[in-house]
Amino acid sequence: MSKPNLTIQVRSVAPTTVILDIHGEVTGFGEDALMDAYTQASNLGARLLCLNFGDLAYMNSSGIGLLVTLLIRVQRQKQQLRAFGLSEHYRQIFELTRLSEAIGIYTSEDAAIAAA
């Protein structure tokens, strides 16, 4: 069985804003890392979670599924989910899968945080 090649650093940048710095591969094997990071962010009081894909090496359909699961959890908790640092390839995938309609896509961390 493959091992997850995903680490996520959780950074609080404001009292209710948390950045999840994604490093590596977002696949089905990364579920524990992603959900643990979400729990940590929520425990910090996050109302806005920003996914930093700047160091994303790879994402497959199972990884997209994990993002959908995360989105559902975020919506149930009345939190917001935004993303930045996506390559053009993954930005297109977000658009094709319509994830971009539910997760705001921004060009930078500052833009994701500042968006109303």
Please name the residues in contact with 83: beta carbons below 8 A apart, sequence gap of 6 or more.
50, 51, 52, 53, 94, 103, 104, 105, 106, 112
Q: What does the angle CA 85 – CA 98 – CA 94 come to, to the nearest 5 degrees?
A: 25
Partner residues linked to 7 by β-bridges: 23
pLDDT tens-digit map of 8-40: 999 999 999 999 999 999 999 999 999 999 999
**CATH numbers and ranges of domains, the chain:** 6-114 (3.30.750.24)
Which pLDDT does position 2 carry in this prediction? 60
CA distances from 82 to 1, 2, 4, 27 (A): 32, 29, 23, 19
pLDDT by residue for the chain (116 residues), tens only, comes to 566 699 999 999 999 999 999 999 999 999 999 999 999 999 999 999 999 999 999 999 999 999 999 999 999 999 999 999 999 999 999 999 999 999 999 999 999 999 86
Whether this model's pTM surpasses 0.85: yes
Owner of token pair 């919506």:
75
